[in-house]
A = this chain, B = another copy of it.
Amino acid sequence: MGTKYQGTEEATRALDTYIKLMRASESLTHRIHRHLHDVDLTISQFGVLEALLHLGSLCQSELAHKLLRTGGNMTLVIDNLEKRDLVRRERSSIDRRFISVHLTEAGRTLIERIFPRHVEAVTQAMQRLTAEEQETLSNLCRKLGSP
């Protein structure tokens, strides 16, 4: 791969690293979420269900923040999950601006059933790296990703 760009050594290295990072994450994303096709969930919908399962009920802005998406996006994704009766909206009585999103029984059943497949897919994908390499990657990504 690599760019055809001729610049300083520093810039070339940065571009090359950046491209590899992007390719790895996009390639992994596709590989890992392939199984979602079976249950007709999109990656975003899966992300919402997983967050609700592991963090409990959240309001939309919290979900948007966790998933690095905008509020408008959350409205639509939750709309679509609600249509399928996988989540439920509930207006907060304390502060009526907030809407907390809850898993329904059907939603909990579904995400609990498919989450193990997700774990399996991620684990298998990561087996290309040793435990030490994974720790190293984790640390480097943390440095790069932190705000």
Contact = CB atoms under 8 A, between A and B. Distances in A.
Contacts of A72: none
20 contacts: A5-B115, A13-B134, A15-B119, A15-B122, A16-B138, A17-B134, A17-B137, A18-B126, A20-B138, A22-B29, A23-B145, A24-B25, A24-B140, A24-B145, A25-B26, A28-B144, A30-B68, A128-B143, A137-B137, A137-B141
Contacts of A38: none
Given A137-B140, A140-B137, A21 B18 contact: no
Interface in A36-71: 54-55, 68
Interface in A114-135: 115, 119, 122-123, 125-129, 131, 133-135
A21 B123 contact: no
Assembly of this chain: how many copies?
2
A21 B133 CA distance: 13
B20 A122 contact: no
Contacts of A134: 13-14, 17
